[in-house]
């Protein structure tokens, strides 16, 4: 199929054909740029701790069976969180959902410093970590669609890439914290800083609309 035929096919489906370079130009819109920045920063903060949960649990003196149980709780909570994000989105809208979930996630990270000394409170905190962490995807994608449905395909691809880069950077930062033999609590604190930056990105994204 030729390029012209592809463009004609898109037009026949009622979609506006947009060139590759025009799609990248969409990042000039501060709403789009800072929504992607919010996603990137969030995953930096998330993976900063998540990638090193196993050594973190080990230094707490937990048995292998308990570590496996905590990961099971995290996985189940993550599945529930995907649905929870949709529910909050319908009830509160995109902005309130993103702000609320991000704020809760910030406190969930920091509370590890206190809850880590009891296996029951630690288990609850791990569940909240999975629940809130995996709730972010749906409202983030909806925000991008609301801003520009024309560039939905580009935004989805770019969002996936920024997520991967965020996870990689977060893992690298967490690795440095461990390599420098800093306290494991530093993982939560540094992660919390990136979550705050993600919250500021949400605020600036909406401020650009006014």
Residue-wise pLDDT for 53-99, tens only, equals 999 999 999 999 999 999 999 999 999 998 899 999 999 999 999 99
pLDDT at residue 158, rounded to an integer: 87
pLDDT at residue 6, rounded to an integer: 33
SS3 category, 1 = coil
Check whether 109 has a pLDDT greater than 80: yes
User: Is pLDDT larger for residue 81 or for residue 26?
Assistant: 81
pLDDT at residue 10, rounded to an integer: 38
| Percent of the chain clearing pLDDT 70 (strictly above) | 85
Token pair of 163, please?
């997520």
CA distance 39 to 140: 7
Angle (CA) 115 132 100, round 5°: 105
Residue-wise pLDDT for 138-169, tens only, equals 899 888 888 877 776 778 888 889 999 999 99
Delineate the domains of the chain, giving CATH numbers in brackets: 23-207 (1.20.1250.20)
In the structure, what pLDDT confidence band is assigned to residue 18 with cuts at 50, 70 and 90? low
Separation in Å, CA 199 to CA 20, 21, 34, 208: 30, 29, 10, 15
Query: Whole-model pTM?
Result: 0.85
Looking at 15-24, 79-88, 97-106, which range is the least confident one?
15-24
Mean pLDDT value across residues 197-207: 93
- The pLDDT mean for the chain works out to 87
């Amino acid at each position: 199929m030729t390029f012209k035929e592809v463009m004609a096919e898109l037009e026949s489906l009622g979609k506006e054909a947009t060139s590759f370079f025009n799609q990248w130009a969409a990042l000039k819109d501060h709403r789009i740029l800072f929504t992607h920045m919010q996603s990137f920063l969030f995953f930096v903060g998330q993976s900063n701790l998540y990638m090193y949960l196993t050594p973190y649990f080990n230094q707490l003196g937990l048995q292998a069976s308990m570590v496996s149980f905590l990961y099971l709780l995290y996985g189940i909570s993550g599945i529930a969180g995907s649905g929870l994000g949709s529910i909050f989105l319908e009830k509160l809208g995109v902005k309130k959902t993103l702000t609320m979930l991000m704020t809760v996630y910030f406190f969930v990270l920091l509370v590890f410093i206190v809850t880590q000394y009891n296996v029951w409170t630690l288990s609850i905190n791990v569940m909240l970590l999975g629940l809130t962490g995996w709730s972010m995807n749906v409202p983030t994608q909806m925000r991008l669609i609301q801003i520009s449905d024309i560039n939905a395909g580009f935004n989805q691809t770019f969002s996936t890439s920024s997520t991967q880069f965020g996870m990689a950077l977060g893992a690298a930062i967490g690795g440095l914290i461990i390599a420098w033999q800093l306290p494991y609590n530093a993982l939560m604190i540094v992660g919390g800083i990136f979550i705050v930056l993600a919250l500021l990105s949400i605020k600036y994204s909406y401020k650009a609309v006014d």
